[in-house]
Chains A and B, each alone.
Chain A
Amino acid sequence: MDYTIKETLDCKGLSCPMPMMKLAKAMKGLSSGDVLEMIGTDPGTKSDLPKWCDKSGNTLLEEGEVEGGVFRFIIQKK
């Protein structure tokens, strides 16, 4: 899928709840269709983020591991 990343959010080193709070805030500042890249190291994000996308209606385009222990998520705003 083709997309251009509008903003990158670095949450490395942060633990719950900071990654989800920062993500929710960053998404608020985007317009519909914009794509955000989030990078983090908290294992909790792996279950919290997809659930949140599900409920908030935003689309999780991609999720994966960049390197050991560093996760990357691509989210498109509703």
Chain B
Amino acid sequence: MAENKKEQGALSELFRVFFSKHWPVWVGGITLGLLNIILFAVKSPWGASGAFNSWGENTFRLIGINAFEGTAPSTTNLYAMLGLFTILGAMAGALFSKEFALRIPPVGELVKGFIGGGLMALGATLGIGCTIGAFFSGVPALSGGAIIFTIGLFIGVIIALKYLLWEMENVPKFSTGKSFTLLAVSSEKGKWQVILGWIVTIATFVLAYLTAGTNGVLAWFILSGLVMGLICQRSRFCIVKAFRDPFMTGESDGSVGVIVGLFVTLIGFTAIKYFGISAEETTLRAREMTWVFGHTWLRAILGGFIFGLGMTVAGGCAVGTLWRVGEGQVKLWMSALGFLLISPLSKKYIVPAIVDNLPTSMKFKSYLPDYIGYAGAFIVVVILLLLWYMFVKWNERTGKFSAY
């Protein structure tokens, strides 16, 4: 019996390691990078905005809008399922650490969430991808357009941050007022949260097991979603933070976490593309061009810019929205709603109206190794990451570009 007790102590100690404190962002960056590499090796890299689009199209299909009649159900869409289980994984992470609660902010914040989500939908459909697909996966995929998308993101984030600072000074009413916190528990009580966390986790494993017989890839995406959502919630992995904080409080932790994640992913993606790993069902060229989108340069910069505006106003990018939805941040529920309602409409009506009139020279696929070889492309991306790292570290010390 005594031994049994000791065993329990060791396990609960392990549990506490994961769920008593937040993880450093770089731990999130590295582990998400590794899981992203495995997703690509199994099928295709991580993406987040596709989930919202699928949910939106299905919402319109279910309410009987003809234009969306042929939409495939979200349950068969790899990225919709990845996104759904990212939410559940984040929920499990929050429940295990007793951080789950419905946090309802003042009305102004809910409005900002919805508008931010809508802008992200416009940006993601115009720029082909969000901060995950076109940035966190796109840059390591050696896509030239992804780098341009990133420049757009930066401009959008800086402008939207200026707006937020202005709003706080001039219309503070927008972010103050009545708020509610429901279902929260204190650290000594609330065992139900931990139990519910286990229920969510075990149910996901059972579902993945049942799915694996007919669709192994889908099962893998379901499990990856759960783990990635949990990692995001525990490390508070947030692309907005990475772009915004140097210009806000000067913090560099968020940026460093993302840079480290990009570097890890870069190694794996380069190897998968260079050696044509898992290219059996497709051509080598198709494998190389995975996550290299036809958005260089105008679509990428416009899309990145609008997405950058949206994610800063919402306070969460596409994946940041997913995991905060799971944690119970109701502002981000509104952002998710804005994202999923606007995305299909933008994709079907707004984007074609703009893009069909663009010459090909403004929306082509640029694959960096085509111009400078694999070694050259790898080195260019590493140099860009190093420059970004040097900038945020220098700025953290000097506060040159920080608002405070």
Question: What is the chain A residue whose CB lies nearest that of B110?
Answer: A13
Smallest beta-carbon distance A41→chain B, Å: 5
Q: Which residues of B contact A46 (CB under 8 A)?
A: 22
Q: Is the CB of A12 within 8 A of B179?
A: yes
Q: Which residues of A contact B396 (CB under 8 A)?
A: 55
Is the CB of A18 closer than 8 A to any CB of chain B? yes
B382-404 contact mask (Cβ, 8 Å, vs A): 1 or 0: 00000000000000100000011
Contact of A15 with B168 at beta-carbon distance under 8 Å, contacts A65-B186, A69-B184 already known: no
Q: Is the CB of A69 within 8 A of B315?
A: no
B226-270 contact mask (Cβ, 8 Å, vs A): 1 or 0: 000000000010101100110011110100000000000000000
Q: Is the CB of B331 within 8 A of A15?
A: yes
B123-150 contact mask (Cβ, 8 Å, vs A): 1 or 0: 0000000000000000000000000000
A-B contact count (CB 8 A): 106
Is the CB of A14 closer than 8 A to any CB of chain B? yes
Question: What is the chain A residue whose CB lies nearest that of B312?
Answer: A17
A1-41 contact mask (Cβ, 8 Å, vs B): 1 or 0: 00000000010111111101110110010000000000001
Question: What is the chain A residue whose CB lies nearest that of B113?
Answer: A15
Q: Which residues of A contact B186 (CB under 8 A)?
A: 65, 67-69
CA distance A55 to B396 in the complex (A): 9
**Interface residue stretch chosen among B96-104, B283-291, B343-351:** B96-104
Contact of A18 with B181 at beta-carbon distance under 8 Å, contacts A41-B103, A43-B327, A48-B251 already known: no
Q: Is the CB of B105 within 8 A of A17?
A: no
CA distance A52 to B164 in the complex (A): 19
CA distance A71 to B46 in the complex (A): 34
Q: How big is chain A's contact interface, by range?
A: 20 to 34
| Partner among B97, B109, B190, B245 whose Cβ is within 8 Å of the Cβ of A13 | B109
Q: Which residues of B contact A21 (CB under 8 A)?
A: 164-165, 168, 248
Q: Is the CB of B106 within 8 A of A13?
A: yes
Question: What is the chain A residue whose CB lies nearest that of B25?
Answer: A47
Smallest beta-carbon distance B85→chain A, Å: 21
| Partner among A16, A24, A43, A70 whose Cβ is within 8 Å of the Cβ of B238 | A16
| Partner among A15, A51, A65, A69 whose Cβ is within 8 Å of the Cβ of B105 | A15
Q: Is the CB of B249 within 8 A of A42?
A: no
Q: Is the CB of A68 within 8 A of B189?
A: yes
| Partner among A13, A16, A18, A22 whose Cβ is within 8 Å of the Cβ of B180 | A13
CA distance A10 to B175 in the complex (A): 11
Is the CB of B31 closer than 8 A to any CB of chain A? no
Is the CB of B59 closer than 8 A to any CB of chain A? no
Q: Is the CB of A12 within 8 A of B181?
A: yes
CA distance A56 to B169 in the complex (A): 21
Smallest beta-carbon distance A25→chain B, Å: 6
Q: Which of A52, A69, A70 has the most B CB atoms < 10 Å from its CB? A: A69
| Partner among A18, A52, A68 whose Cβ is within 8 Å of the Cβ of B249 | A52
Q: Which residues of A contact B99 (CB under 8 A)?
A: 43, 69
Contacts A/B (CB < 8 Å), 26 sampled: A12-B181, A14-B179, A14-B331, A15-B103, A15-B315, A15-B324, A16-B241, A17-B240, A17-B245, A17-B248, A20-B248, A21-B165, A24-B403, A24-B404, A42-B103, A43-B94, A43-B236, A43-B327, A44-B236, A47-B22, A47-B236, A51-B253, A68-B189, A69-B181, A69-B186, A70-B184
10 shortest A-B CB distances, which residue pairs?
A69-B184, A13-B179, A13-B105, A24-B404, A68-B184, A68-B186, A69-B101, A43-B99, A47-B22, A15-B329
Q: Which residues of B contact A (CB under 8 A)?
A: 21-22, 94, 97, 99, 101, 103-106, 109, 164-165, 168-169, 175-176, 179-181, 184-187, 189-190, 236, 238, 240-241, 244-245, 248-251, 253, 315-316, 324, 327, 329, 331-332, 396, 403-404
Q: Which residues of A contact B (CB under 8 A)?
A: 10, 12-18, 20-22, 24-25, 28, 41-44, 46-48, 51-52, 55-56, 65, 67-70
- Please name 13 further chain A to chain B contacts, defined as beta carbons within 8 Å, in addition to the given A47-B21, A65-B187, sorted by A numbering: A13-B179, A14-B106, A15-B103, A17-B240, A18-B109, A22-B175, A24-B404, A25-B168, A46-B22, A56-B249, A69-B101, A69-B181, A70-B181
